[in-house]
Amino acid sequence: MAARHPAALKLALPAAVGAAVAISIGAYGRLHTPTGVAVSLAGFSSAQTVKVWLACAATFFGIVQLVSALAMYGRLPVAGTSWIPVLHRWSGRVAFLFAVPVALHCLYALGFASYSPRVLLHSVLGCVFFGAFTVKMLALPRRGLPGWALPLLGGLVFAALTALWLSSSLWFFATSGVRF
Ligand code: HEM
């Protein structure tokens, strides 16, 4: 009779791919010579403020995804609402779509930097965010995962995004004021 593998083993391949994604992003950010290129948008005073507000939008939709996940797992008194899983999926997609252009600019124009503990933490968190997101997306379609797997992965993605926002947008608002 085939040996029954622990359910957690189903996470091994997604975890390996996620780690490879995080390390590759970090290696590119470290080895690539930052270009310093800046792209601004009408209505914003600089490329930096564009990124600061895009990161705010990503984090807002991350919060919507967290709240809808709490509802899906029965932690909020919103029973029998079939649209919650749809809201959860789409808020996650929109949050990711807001984060990608910001991260692309960070990597291409600024690189993986370590000139202060805040910036090093931010750079590491940026890699962790995409690594954890990859693990969650690869784990999702797998049947028989341990019950703690998706909440843990979702929590890690949300925590990384929130810490990215704290180490960049909130820092910007605290040092340069809330402005566009
Ligand atoms: C993928 C890996 C990432 C790396 C290596 C990275 C690196 C950096 C670096 C070095 C800075 C300049 C920090 C400073 O001097 O203040 C920065 C700024 C910033 N990053 Fe990232 N970051 C990454 C991902 C992200 C993600 C995913 C977000 C948001 C969802 C984000 C949002 C920001 C924002 C808002 C700023 C401030 C604007 C700026 O100074 O250009 N970063 N990032």
Distance 111 CA to ligand 1 centre (A): 9
Establish whether residue 167 lines the binding site of ligand 1, counting it when its CB lies within 6 angstroms of any ligand atom. no
Is 164's C-beta closer than 6 angstroms to any atom of ligand 1? yes
CA atoms within 13 A on the CB side of 171: 16
180 residues of the chain, pLDDT tens digit each: 555 567 778 899 999 999 999 999 999 999 999 988 877 778 888 889 999 999 999 999 999 999 999 999 888 887 667 899 999 999 999 999 999 999 999 999 999 999 999 999 999 999 999 999 999 999 999 988 999 999 999 999 999 999 999 999 999 999 999 999
Which tokens belong to 77?
A: 């008194």
Residues 21, 131 contacting (CB under 8 angstroms): yes
Phi, psi torsion values for 172, nearest 5 degrees? -60, -45
| CA atoms within 13 A of residue 113's CA, in its CB half-sphere | 15
Atom 35 of ligand 1, nearest CA residue: 52
CA distance 112 to 146: 34
